């Protein structure tokens, strides 16, 4: 399943960066955005994941995030998340960049995590900035109103909003300076996150895609591995550990 070239590249790699999307959480039971059972099937992104939609109907958008928060609290990280924790331990310079807002990488034990699109377990008041980061409290809230009367919003990046600058800078730096770049479980539709594999490629990284199907990014990747991340990643880690043991 893995080319000798990939194993060699990883054996000699000083720095490895990974971009994940909703696909890595699919085997935990979290619906992806654009898949068959996708989150966007019932709704349209512009109807929910935008500031305008929130201002127009705060309760509806808040309810949608609470539906997702409840779902996320009931699921567990899957072998794909845990394999990335092991991969992080094999390299001195490892950056995990995620588009996911489900906090599953941190729950699995990943340490150097760059959350490009925020984190659904965090919230803040758009008027006074007060934080509401207790996810149980958030789930109890029917209407997202702060003590100051302002609206409380999820700490995620909506369409049309800028990504957190420090997160984007870390992600861009990690993509442009790594020897091997993995794009895992993302359809490569949402920008600027989807430009990271190209940035890595342009800067000389060996680029690898792991997905259950080809995507908009596949055509320029050095290697495309078709398979479930929860199965492919643990196997890759095993192969890599064997390769590291060989003299």
Residue closer to Zn ion, measured from CB, 130 or 214 = 130
Region class of 188: left (phi > 0), else alpha (psi between -120 and 50), else beta: left
Give contact residues for ligand BV8 (rule: CB under 6 A). Answer: 21-23, 26-27, 32-35, 38, 49, 99-101, 117, 156-162, 185-187, 189-192, 211-213, 215, 228-230
Residue 217: which of 239, 237, 191, 242 has the closest Cα? 191
Closest approach of Cβ 157 to Zn ion, in Å?
Answer: 20
Tokens representing 234 are 């643990």
41 DSSP assignment: H
Task: Give the interface segment with Zn ion, choosing from 21-29, 67-75, 111-119, 123-131 (CB under 5 A).
Answer: 123-131
**Whole-number Å distance between alpha carbons of 155 and 117:** 9
Among 14, 56, 70, 127, binds Zn ion (CB under 5 A): 127
Query: What are the residues facing 113 on neighbouring strands?
Result: 96
**Of 58, 150, 164, 234, the one binding Zn ion by CB under 5 A:** 150
| Complete edge-to-edge strand list for the sheet that includes strand 113-115 | 113-115, 93-98, 15-20, 180-184, 206-211, 223-226
Q: Does 58 bind Zn ion (CB under 5 A)?
A: no
Phi, psi dihedral angles at 118 (to 5 degrees): 85, -160
Task: Name the β-bridge partners of 118.
Answer: 156
Report, in Å, the least distance between residue 113 CB and ligand BV8: 14
Interacting residue with Zn ion among 73, 148, 189, 226 (CB under 5 A): 148
The residue (of 12 and 162) whose beta carbon lies closer to ligand BV8 is 162
Residue with smaller CB distance to ligand BV8, 14 or 70: 70
Shortest Cβ 192–ligand BV8 spacing (Å): 6
148 binds, among Zn ion, ligand BV8, none (CB under 5 to 8 A by kind): Zn ion
Q: CA distances (Å), 133 to each of 119, 139, 175, 235, in order?
A: 10, 11, 30, 36
- Is 105 annotated in the active site? no
CA distance 217 to 184: 11
Catalytic residue among 68, 69, 81, 117: 117
Of the candidates 49, 61, 125, 199, which one interacts with Zn ion according to CB under 5 A?
A: 125
Say how far apart CA 91 and CA 88 lie, in whole Å.
6
Binding partner selected for residue 226 from ligand BV8, Zn ion, none, CB under the kind-specific 5 to 8 Å limit? none
Residue positions annotated with a catalytic role:
117
Binding site for Zn ion (CB under 5 A): 125, 127-128, 130, 146, 148, 150
């Amino acid at each position: 399943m893995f080319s000798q070239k990939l194993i060699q590249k990883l054996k000699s790699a000083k720095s490895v960066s990974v971009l994940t999307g909703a696909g890595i959480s699919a085997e935990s039971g979290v619906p992806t955005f654009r898949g068959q059972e996708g989150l966007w099937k019932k709704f349209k992104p512009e109807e929910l994941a935008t500031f305008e939609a929130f201002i127009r109907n705060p309760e509806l958008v808040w309810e949608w995030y609470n539906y997702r928060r409840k779902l996320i609290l009931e699921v567990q990280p899957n072998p794909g998340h845990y394999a990335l924790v092991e991969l992080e331990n094999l390299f001195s310079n490892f950056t995990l960049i995620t588009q996911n807002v489900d906090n599953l990488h941190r729950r699995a034990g990943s340490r150097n995590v760059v959350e490009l699109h925020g984190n659904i377990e965090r919230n803040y008041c758009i008027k006074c900035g007060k934080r509401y980061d207790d996810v149980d409290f958030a789930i109890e809230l029917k209407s997202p109103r702060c003590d100051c009367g302002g609206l409380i919003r999820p700490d995620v990046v909506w369409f049309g909003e800028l990504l957190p600058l420090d997160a984007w800078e870390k992600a861009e730096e990690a993509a442009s300076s790594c020897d091997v770049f993995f794009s895992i479980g993302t359809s490569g539709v949402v920008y600027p996150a989807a430009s990271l594999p190209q940035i890595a490629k342009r800067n000389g990284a060996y680029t690898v895609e792991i997905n259950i199907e080809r995507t908009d990014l596949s055509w320029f990747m050095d290697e495309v591995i078709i398979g479930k991340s929860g199965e492919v990643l643990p196997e890759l880690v095993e192969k890599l550990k064997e390769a590291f043991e060989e003299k």
